[in-house]
Homo-oligomer: A and B are copies of this chain.
Amino acid sequence: MVSMIYTQNYLSLTREALLKELRQVLSSNRYEHVLRVEAKALELAQSYGVDEEKASIAALLHDYAKELELGKMFIYAQKYWPEERLESAGEAIWHGPAAAYLTREKFGCKDPEILQAIACHTTGWFHMTPLVQVIYVADYVEDGRSFPGVDKARKLAFEDLTLAVRFKMIESLRHVISRGVYVYPLSLEIYNNWVTRHSTRSVAKK
């Protein structure tokens, strides 16, 4: 059980008030998922020397917009990423930037790294700080996840965070394509950027 006192440097709420808010907004399954992502994010944060309060906040809020009406989700996402043409994307893409928008506007969070970690927890991003990587990976390997390769991903997460990000990026895109559905071009741009900068060879050299 996580217990943590927020400094309120980042958020206008205590952790307890935030949990109460989440219980009101999210289904119980999603609420449990969010707590597991927080637990995993804190383990990873300790392991990689990342700020734990920031990891807790980003983890707890990453799926905050996931159960919104789709139209609202789209509008908030577009407000957060006005430079993107999000019409052709769907809720899988929208719910991240929508949650970042609400975290900023509703809970007064001004920390760009927390907001970024929330916004791109599904898509990843071109450059990802350790905190952003921690949230991206924690969401993928939290203890409730089960998919072929999850053990490998969990092991990688603690061995090499960058390789774990790369692993999720490849597997997520592969999964979408296996289903034969539309891929939002930003996802491919991020994938291309990531796999060319972090080839297994260059990662192995580290």
Contacts and interface: CB of A to CB of B under 8 A. Distances in A.
Interface of A: 166, 170, 173-174, 177-178, 180-183, 185, 188-189, 191-192, 195-196, 199-200
Contact of A180 (B177, B180, B188, B195): B195
A192 B183 contact: yes
Contacts of A188: 183, 185, 188
Contacts of A166: 180
Given A180-B200, A183-B192, A185-B189, 11 more contacts: A166-B180, A170-B177, A170-B180, A174-B177, A174-B178, A177-B191, A181-B195, A182-B192, A182-B195, A183-B191, A185-B192
A195 B173 CA distance: 15
A179 to B, nearest CB: 9
A89 to B, nearest CB: 12
Contacts of A182: 192, 195-196
A3 to B, nearest CB: 40
- Most B CB within 10 A of own CB, among A173, A180, A182, A189: A180
Nearest to A196: B182
A145 to B, nearest CB: 20
Nearest to A172: B177
A178 to B, nearest CB: 6
A182 B192 CA distance: 5
A203 B200 CA distance: 39
Contacts of A200: 180
The 4 closest A-B pairs by CB, nearest first: A174-B177, A188-B188, A170-B180, A180-B195
A127 B166 CA distance: 33
